[in-house]
Amino acid sequence: MSKPIYDRVALIGLGLIASSMFWAMKRAGLAGEVTGYARSQATRDTAREIGLCDRVCDSAAEAAQGADLVVLCVPVGAMGPVMKEIAPMLKPGATVSDVGSVKRHVIDAVQPHIPDGVHFVPAHPLAGTEHSGPEAGFAELYDNRWCLLVPVEGSDPAAVAALRALWEGMGANVEEMDADHHDLVLSVTSHTPHLIAYTMVGVADDLRRVTDSEVIKYSAAGFRDFTRIAASDPTMWRDVFLTNKDATLEILGRFTEELFALQRAIRTGDGDMLHDYFTRTRAIRRGIIEAGQDTDAPDFGRGHGK
């Protein structure tokens, strides 16, 4: 057991990310007491039942009161209002962080409400699954995944170092990045792929000449990987696209341009262009496997014959 890094941690929002943080902090003894709050009564009831958080509070302000670290784990669009609500309760010297998938917007929405003497260190753990809610979390979610810290102008180095130690203690590799670059990188590695997956699943659902039951039965040929991504939390993703609009539109523009080039090669029968393109993309996959960010087991090692 490590020595706790924070005596009191407050998790505001109790979905997949917060619940995994709780189990990961407990696994390594990183926090003394962990309080939690969720807006919905049902989520708070579930949290109490399954022992998620040492104390589940009935308001965000109550959960945040006296905490050394407050982590905002709510959808990106809710960060500003929640911060405003808890601001008066924060103890001097406390650190506020978040886990939002978009950083520029969160900084703009949260920072104006940070009281003097409170540190703000935005963060984004690059981990998740298609499941959401308080029961979806597990202690291993962050093991060997990246957590990006996005310190703002004047972030206190000691506060940044403590948060880094927390994430490393939860199993993550930590790196620092500028907010705008973060939003562009994530648009490529996460936001645009999600939008495209949602789109493809929407097309399949919508097509009159192919039934949903056919789509479902014959999904193993590639489509089912898209449906996993497109099963992620709708509120979270709505907020991501609305708040990372510029980078998303930029990458979507590049995507469409490229798709049209491939479409043209199909129409004109340019097999060499297609073959070259499909060969080039294999290298990226090899890089991901070598970097330990995915398994080389066929089909991600999904069980066969189940």
Of residues 229 through 288, those in contact with a second copy by CB under 8 A are 229-232, 234-235, 237-239, 241-242, 245, 248-249, 251-252, 254-256, 258-259, 262-263, 266-267, 269, 271, 274-275, 277-288
CA separation, residue 102 to residues 98, 105, 284 (Å): 10, 6, 24
Under the binding rule (CB under 8 A), the answer on residue 59 touching a second copy is: no
- Which of residues 33, 114, 115, 138 is near a second copy by CB under 8 A? 138
C-beta closer to a second copy: residue 14 or 236: 236
List the x/- string, 95-114, binding to a second copy by CB under 8 A.
Answer: ------x-------------
Which stretch, 29-37, 66-74, 80-88, 212-220, contacts a second copy (CB under 8 A)?
212-220
Under the binding rule (CB under 8 A), the answer on residue 127 touching a second copy is: yes
Residues in 64-93 that interact with a second copy by CB under 8 A: 77
CA separation, residue 106 to residues 20, 46, 70, 83, 235 (Å): 21, 28, 15, 10, 16
Environment class of 251 (CB within 10 Å of its CB; exposed 0-12, middle 13-18, buried 19+) = buried
CB of 50 to a second copy, least distance (A): 16
Residues in 148-207 that interact with a second copy by CB under 8 A: 148, 171, 184-186, 188-207
Closest CA to 88 of 61, 57, 120: 61
In the structure encoding, which two tokens stand for residue 240, read together? 């991501």
C-beta closer to a second copy: residue 27 or 55: 27
Environment class of 283 (CB within 10 Å of its CB; exposed 0-12, middle 13-18, buried 19+) = exposed
C-beta closer to a second copy: residue 161 or 260: 260
Under the binding rule (CB under 8 A), the answer on residue 34 touching a second copy is: no
Helix (H), strand (E), coil (C) string for 201-268: HHHHHHCCCCCHHHHHHCHHHCHHHHHHHCCCCHHHHHHHHHHCHHHHHHHHHHHHHHHHHHHHHHHH
Which stretch, 80-88, 92-100, 102-110, 209-217, contacts a second copy (CB under 8 A)?
209-217
Pairing of strands 55-56, 69-72: unpaired
C-beta closer to a second copy: residue 90 or 247: 247
Is residue 124 within 8 Å of 99, Cβ to Cβ? Answer: yes
Query: Residues touching a second copy: how many (CB under 8 A)?
Result: 115
Is residue 202 within 8 Å of 255, Cβ to Cβ? Answer: no
Rounded distance between C-alpha atoms, residue 97 and residue 11, angstroms: 10
- Which of residues 28, 87, 136, 165 is near a second copy by CB under 8 A? 136
- Which of residues 141, 150, 159, 160 is near a second copy by CB under 8 A? 141
Under the binding rule (CB under 8 A), the answer on residue 50 touching a second copy is: no
Rounded distance between C-alpha atoms, residue 242 and residue 57, angstroms: 30
In the structure encoding, which two tokens stand for residue 35, read together? 């309080």
C-beta closer to a second copy: residue 84 or 302: 302
Is residue 176 within 8 Å of 148, Cβ to Cβ? Answer: yes
Rounded distance between C-alpha atoms, residue 61 and residue 57, angstroms: 9
- Which of residues 78, 133, 146, 165 is near a second copy by CB under 8 A? 146
C-beta closer to a second copy: residue 120 or 198: 198
